[in-house]
Amino acid sequence: MAEAAFKKTSADAGAVAAERELTDGFHLVIDALKLNGLDTIYGVPGIPITDFGRMAQASGIRVLSFRHEQNAGYAAAIAGFLTKKPGVCLTVSAPGFLNGLTALAHATTNCFPMILISGSSEREIVDLQQGDYEEMDQLAIAKPLCKAAFRVLHAQDIGIGFARAIRAAVSGRPGGVYLDLPARLFSQVMDAEAGHKSLVKVIDPAPAQIPAPDAVKRALDALRSAKRPLIILGKGAAYAQADDVIKSFVEKSGIPFLPMSMAKGLLPDTHPQCAGAARSTVLRDSDAVMLIGARLNWLLSHGKGKVWGEAPRKFIQVDIEPREMDSNVEIAAPLVGDIGSCVSALLGAMGGSWPTPPADWIKTVTSKREENVAKMAPRLMNNNSPMDYHGALGVLRTIVKERPDAVLVNEGANTLDLARGIIDVYRPRKRIDVGTWGAMGIGMGYAIGAAVETGKPVLAIEGDSAFGFSGMEIETICRYKLPVCVVVFNNDGIYRGTDVNKAGSDPATTVFVKGSRYDKMIEAFGGVGVNATSPDELKRAVNVAMDTGKPTLINAVIDPAAGSESGRIGNLNPQSKLARK
């Protein structure tokens, strides 16, 4: 408190130089953050928040300055996912706010808790549209793109404003919250003691939500009677940090489990029950599917259609959001509550003896999995130069196996889809990627957020296109000396580097400058750049980077013809049936 207040000698107190302790908006915002354990801010400075950044830093808050707000926002979003505390992003008004907004919407879509705080212009001028500096009705614009949006006009409301923002971000289904702080708020002065009292320490911001016992029984009945049961773990399960109960539940059930991309590692991908390498079989043939923190959205083909086969099937869904139930298909057994409480209740109600799933189902899944793993193995061992995806990912797979604590960041098309399938993950929350939207551009923001929040080394596996969306943040990585190794899968373009524009001299729309040397970029900022043309060279360079923790960018030269259009989701690409002359 003392550091947040400043003393002012009252001029009109006459001979008695009475001292009254005062505080202001700047300090109250800092105190509100600290009181609630929000000790890191990701942002870009400028009017009206430059001074705020300085004061926050002076007060012991870690303030990380980025080169673009979107990347700061993605860092805050992934901080929310990794810590269960809202990640905080701070931007200036209008253009800064809009740059950060993509990440706020992304956080909301992915169910990550995040607070975007933006400075804003004065209400009077904005509402009369009189053309203020960076004028924009930010609150109105943010509202449809986030879970909740609030504005604080008076210093004495800062405490309540932050309490509301924190609760909205982390309770129930987590999401993004916008907090609008007009420039004038920061310099509003009030009595320090009253200010101190106005702050709110949020008690139990994400209260446990205990499921109803009959819903637990219904869920277990559906699972017990199944002939071909399956458990799907989603990133909500990873977020919940209920790792031990989830593992106990899955192991006690004996049921094959399929991890969604960011749920990989909740149980190791090498676990005997993991059906990751038998994905098509378990989706097509299962007759009861329990979803734990995973939505039946496009990533699971909406729970219907060819992928899911003809067999009748019951869905059991564990989720904190009641309205998620029946969003795509009928949910036979909805289990609403937080995942820790739900899975503990399931485990408790299973009792001493739980029937092992039918042996023929387990055998089908296991043999499919072994067959697919064996088919893949030789492809991962090639030492081709230029590399193909399998050769390059084969060595990265071994490196991740040897360093299970490192955080893997992954984006691109082929670079994403193939890495997801090939690289096993061994610990919870160690794989973070493009998420529900398949958003390119999360790369460097996620890498920075993960390095800062976990203190562990980060390996970012990036398509060359994907990397370009946030590439300038390698300066940020060098500036903060973060242990991040970026591997750019350089195939000269988007999906492939081989497209030709037959109609003119401009390059085709999906290709980049051939033979680019991304490794040289990081050298400009004092980092380590390496050009790797074979799996052996790649392996050596990544191992050095991970051992030294020095900011490193490896340009991994990939055969431009190796990839396929749209990676693995080419089916979503509409094709014109009209021939053009």
Q: Is residue 488 near ligand TPW by the rule CB under 6 A?
A: no
Q: Is residue 445 near ligand TPW by the rule CB under 6 A?
A: no
Residue 205 phi/psi, 5-degree rounding, is: -65, -25
Rounded to a whole number, what is the distance in angstroms from the first to the last CA of the chain? 73
Q: Is residue 567 near ligand TPW by the rule CB under 6 A?
A: yes
Nearer to ligand TPW, 69 or 464 (CB): 464
Nearer to ligand ADP, 69 or 338 (CB): 338
**Residue indicated by tokens 């596996």:** 461
Q: Is 264 strand, coil or helix?
A: coil
Q: Is residue 171 near ligand TPW by the rule CB under 6 A?
A: no
Residue in 392, 379, 423, 377 with CA at minimum distance from that of residue 558: 392
User: CA 421, CA 393: separation in Å to the nearest integer?
Assistant: 10
Q: Is residue 483 near ligand TPW by the rule CB under 6 A?
A: no
Q: Is residue 494 near ligand TPW by the rule CB under 6 A?
A: yes
| Residue in 92, 262, 542, 557 binding ligand ADP, rule: CB under 6 A | 262
Q: What letter does residue 356 receive in the DSSP assignment?
A: P
Cβ atoms 395, 542 nearer than 8 A: yes
| Count of alpha carbons within 13 angstroms of residue 384, beta-carbon side | 18
Helix axes 414-422, 389-402, angle to 10 degrees: 50
Is residue 156 exposed (0-12), middle (13-18) or buried (19+ Cβ within 10 Å)? Answer: middle
Which amino acid, one-letter code, is at 260?
A: M
Taking the complex as a whole, the smallest distance from the CB of residue 448 to Mg ion amounts, in Å, to 22
Q: Is residue 260 near ligand ADP by the rule CB under 6 A?
A: yes
**Residue indicated by tokens 């979003």:** 77
User: CA 478, CA 524: separation in Å to the nearest integer?
Assistant: 10
440 binds, among ligand TPW, Mg ion, ligand ADP, none (CB under 5 to 8 A by kind): ligand TPW
Interface residues toward Mg ion, by CB under 5 A: 463-464, 491
Nearer to ligand TPW, 309 or 421 (CB): 421
Taking the complex as a whole, the smallest distance from the CB of residue 542 to ligand TPW amounts, in Å, to 17
Q: Is residue 83 near ligand TPW by the rule CB under 6 A?
A: no
User: CA 34, CA 282: separation in Å to the nearest integer?
Assistant: 47
User: CA 349, CA 352: separation in Å to the nearest integer?
Assistant: 9
Q: Which stretch binds ligand ADP (CB under 6 A): 228-236, 325-333, 500-508, 539-547?
A: 228-236
Measured CA distances, 405 to 102, 429, 433 (Å): 29, 10, 16
Q: Is residue 81 near ligand ADP by the rule CB under 6 A?
A: no
Taking the complex as a whole, the smallest distance from the CB of residue 443 to Mg ion amounts, in Å, to 13
| Residue in 259, 276, 457, 563 binding ligand TPW, rule: CB under 6 A | 563
> Which tokens belong to 574?
């509409």
Nearer to ligand TPW, 415 or 476 (CB): 415
Q: What letter does residue 349 receive in the DSSP assignment?
A: H
| Residue in 297, 301, 382, 543 binding ligand ADP, rule: CB under 6 A | 297
Taking the complex as a whole, the smallest distance from the CB of residue 416 to ligand TPW amounts, in Å, to 7
Give ∠ CA 443-380-364 in degrees, rounded to 5. 100
| Residue in 169, 240, 365, 521 binding ligand ADP, rule: CB under 6 A | 240
Q: Which stretch binds ligand ADP (CB under 6 A): 175-183, 235-243, 441-449, 493-501?
A: 235-243
User: CA 195, CA 32: separation in Å to the nearest integer?
Assistant: 10
| Residue in 439, 459, 482, 522 binding ligand TPW, rule: CB under 6 A | 439
Q: Is residue 321 near ligand ADP by the rule CB under 6 A?
A: yes
| Residue in 491, 534, 552, 555 binding ligand TPW, rule: CB under 6 A | 491
Q: Is residue 411 near ligand ADP by the rule CB under 6 A?
A: no
Maximum separation of any 2 CA atoms in the chain, in Å: 94
- Which residue ranges make up the site for ligand ADP (CB under 6 A)? 110-111, 173-174, 234-236, 239-240, 260, 262-263, 293-295, 297, 299, 319-321, 324, 338-339, 436
- Which residue ranges make up the site for ligand TPW (CB under 6 A)? 412-415, 438-441, 463-466, 489, 491, 494-495, 563, 567
